[in-house]
A and B are shown apart, each in its own frame.
Chain A
Amino acid sequence: MQLFFEQLLNGIAMGSIYALVTLGLALVYGILRILHVAHAAVYTVGAYAGLFCYSHTGSLLLAFLGGMIFCSILGVAIERLVYYPLLKYPPYVPLIGSIAIMLSIEEICRLVAGPYILTFPATLPFPEFQLGGVTISSTLTAVYVITTAVLGLLWFISTKTELGLAMRATSQDIPIADAMGINSHAIVSIAFVIGSSIAAIAGILVGIYYNQVYPTMGTVPAYKTLALIVVGGLGSMPGAVIASMLLGVAETLLIGYADIPLPRDALAFIAMIAVLMWRSEGLMGSK
């Protein structure tokens, strides 16, 4: 029972991190209708940038800030240099561009920082807990607290601020948003800033959680999060969160607890296809 509980907690943590990455993807899709596969590369860069800042300053706060700033710049650069000019083409064109960007960035990380797994020996300044006989490490606590804070902040921005309103208007219809006086291109860039910052946070959290930073750490999340936004309903943020949590828990329990030898990536896609068969718009999508 204890093992189950332990794995459940791990699963929730995993799901929370997936949620952070998937949210950025859902955000971009909601506004540009582009599958931003390169988002996972931003996540990887976030981990590296955070590690770099940490190893040079010893401050986790600066690591997070540095990662967020660097990734925001990267995200906006991708949007302005590649996606926006390609919007007029059929969707597979920006998608191929996104895949190319992701692979290029992975390679650049490999060439610059080396192909070896780097460690991220930081401890997050959160307390440890004992709960039901299981120790919740400080890292785990940190994951819960930080992801809840980020999700809460996002929800607040989205529903209670003018920015959120503008973003929802732009994601409905860019020309109409323009006509209403919203600078839709600025909104798009802001969406990328938000999404990329969150990806950076997720990357750093994962780097610390597993104590591993390596160039291809984004590959698996790249495709898994695609399946997740489909399951959640393309463009639906609550759906993305729910789907991510479900997958995180399911994966960890099935593989860590029940010991079923399913390949992790395939599991996400199998789940996706199963959900699509049942509801073709995803869990919370609209037709």
Chain B
Amino acid sequence: MDAYLITIGTLIIIYAITVYGLNVIVGYAGQISLGHAAFFGIGAYASALLTTKAGLSFWEALPIVILLSGLIGIVLGLPSLRLREDFLAITTIGINFIVEALFLYVPYFGGALGIGGIPRVVLFGVKLKGMAFFLLCLGFLALVIFICWWFTRSWGGVACFALREEESAAASVGISPVRFKLLAFVIGTMMAGLGGALYAHYMRFISATDFSFPMSITFLSMIVLGGMGTLWGPLLGAVLLGILPELFRPIVDYRILFYTALLLVMIRFQPAGLLGEGSIVHKWLILKPAGGRP
């Protein structure tokens, strides 16, 4: 397969893994997170540091990376999720800026130069690159999608969903708002951490600016476009927004304007996304809404 396509495809898959996590937070539990790129970065830096400075392999580092992302998610999420929705949006923006500042200013994280020389992932003694790495990422994506699917069928998932629909009614039937918002948040940050780790070993060089606030907006745009709270929306959004820059190479100067205008149009007229209920795609394909559940 064309090497160029594989390169783009791998990045799209990595982004998709990350935004599936965001989809759990925003789409399933209805919590606004504008700092997802921070957790993507935490995963990337953690894996990079563990494999370069501590000499661990990707596989040895991975459980630590995911747990760390979840742990930091709890630490940052617990105080934030107790706050009202509006506060949460601003707090997550703040998390993004603060984490980025830490990466940039604390010398251990390489400062402005970032971290380089990140090794490739080795599986059964083989260094994975190109198609092989693409397939590895695809495997992780399948796992992530499976977890999301399982979540929507579990008691945890329906609790988050009920919380999103009607918080006080959910509380009156025993659903603790903080606990379940936190559960969704942590699942989301762990997936972001996984995406970040794969990103680090893909790019083999990372720096703080990869994980700044505009990246959080990009992630959010992907699920807005694809459909928040749907099972395939994040993938669709990642694919569309991943392919678009390539399609728009000729008018690269207008690219950002196109993105933001697209985001604006989507959110104004189709807030549920392309795969969401009531969308043009839905009506066009005459899809029957499946009982309203995600």
Residues of A within 8 A of B (CB): 29, 33, 35, 81-82, 85-86, 89-93, 95-97, 99-101, 103-104, 107-108, 111, 223, 226-227, 230, 234, 261-263, 265-266, 269-270, 272-273, 276-277, 280
B250 to chain A, nearest CB (A): 16
Of chain A, the residue at the smallest CB distance from B30 is A90
Q: Are B263 and A100 in contact (CB under 8 A)?
A: yes
Q: Are B264 and A266 in contact (CB under 8 A)?
A: no
Those 7 A-B pairs whose CB atoms lie nearest each other, nearest first: A269-B94, A100-B264, A266-B101, A92-B32, A103-B260, A107-B257, A100-B263
Known pairs A100-B264, A230-B87; A263 contacts B104 (CB<8 A)? yes
Give which listed residue, B90, B213, B257, contacts A272 with CB less than 8 A.
B90
Cα distance, A35 to B93, chains bound together (Å): 12
CB neighbours (8 Å) of B109 from chain A are none
- B237-279: which residues lie under 8 A (CB-CB) from chain A? 253-254, 256-257, 259-261, 263-264, 267-268, 271
CB neighbours (8 Å) of B60 from chain A are none
CB neighbours (8 Å) of B30 from chain A are 90
Known pairs A103-B217, A104-B257, A263-B105; A97 contacts B94 (CB<8 A)? no
A22 to chain B, nearest CB (A): 13
Of chain A, the residue at the smallest CB distance from B256 is A107
Known pairs A92-B26, A103-B256; A280 contacts B86 (CB<8 A)? no
Cα distance, A29 to B89, chains bound together (Å): 14
CB neighbours (8 Å) of B26 from chain A are 92
Give which listed residue, A85, A96, A100, A226, contacts B93 with CB less than 8 A.
A226
Query: B151 on the interface (CB 8 Å rule)?
Result: no
Q: Are B91 and A276 in contact (CB under 8 A)?
A: yes
Known pairs A85-B268, A96-B220; A35 contacts B97 (CB<8 A)? no
A86 to chain B, nearest CB (A): 7
CB-defined A-B contacts under 8 Å, sample of 11: A29-B86, A81-B268, A89-B271, A96-B267, A99-B263, A107-B260, A108-B257, A223-B213, A227-B94, A270-B94, A277-B79
Of chain B, the residue at the smallest CB distance from A99 is B217
Q: Are A276 and B263 in contact (CB under 8 A)?
A: no
Cα distance, A122 to B224, chains bound together (Å): 44
CB neighbours (8 Å) of A262 from chain B are 101
B279 to chain A, nearest CB (A): 14
Give B15-29 as 1s and 0s: 1 = Cβ < 8 Å from A's Cβ atoms. 000000000001000
CB neighbours (8 Å) of A104 from chain B are 257, 260-261, 264
CB neighbours (8 Å) of A263 from chain B are 97, 101, 104-105
Given contacts A96-B263, A263-B101, A269-B98, 18 further A-B contacts (CB under 8 A): A29-B86, A86-B268, A90-B30, A99-B263, A100-B261, A104-B260, A107-B260, A226-B93, A266-B101, A269-B93, A269-B94, A269-B97, A270-B94, A273-B91, A276-B83, A276-B91, A277-B79, A280-B83
- B74-114: which residues lie under 8 A (CB-CB) from chain A? 79, 82-83, 85-87, 89-91, 93-95, 97-98, 100-101, 104-105
Cα distance, A107 to B256, chains bound together (Å): 7
CB neighbours (8 Å) of A95 from chain B are 32, 89
Q: Are B89 and A266 in contact (CB under 8 A)?
A: no
CB neighbours (8 Å) of B97 from chain A are 223, 263, 265-266, 269
CB neighbours (8 Å) of A265 from chain B are 97, 101
Known pairs A90-B30, A104-B257, A226-B90; A266 contacts B98 (CB<8 A)? yes
Q: Are B257 and A91 in contact (CB under 8 A)?
A: no
Cα distance, A35 to B90, chains bound together (Å): 9
A140 to chain B, nearest CB (A): 29
Cα distance, A223 to B212, chains bound together (Å): 13
Q: Are B104 and A96 in contact (CB under 8 A)?
A: no
Most buried by B among A35, A85, A103, A261: A103
Cα distance, A81 to B86, chains bound together (Å): 22
Known pairs A263-B101, A272-B90; A97 contacts B267 (CB<8 A)? yes
CB neighbours (8 Å) of A33 from chain B are 86
Q: Are A111 and B260 in contact (CB under 8 A)?
A: no
Give which listed residue, A29, A91, A230, A272, contacts B32 with CB less than 8 A.
A91
Cα distance, A238 to B95, chains bound together (Å): 26
Q: Are A96 and B224 in contact (CB under 8 A)?
A: yes
CB neighbours (8 Å) of A273 from chain B are 79, 91, 94, 98
Known pairs A263-B101, A266-B101; A97 contacts B86 (CB<8 A)? no
Known pairs A104-B257, A223-B97; A276 contacts B268 (CB<8 A)? no
Cα distance, A101 to B257, chains bound together (Å): 10
Q: Are B271 and A86 in contact (CB under 8 A)?
A: yes
Cα distance, A270 to B101, chains bound together (Å): 11
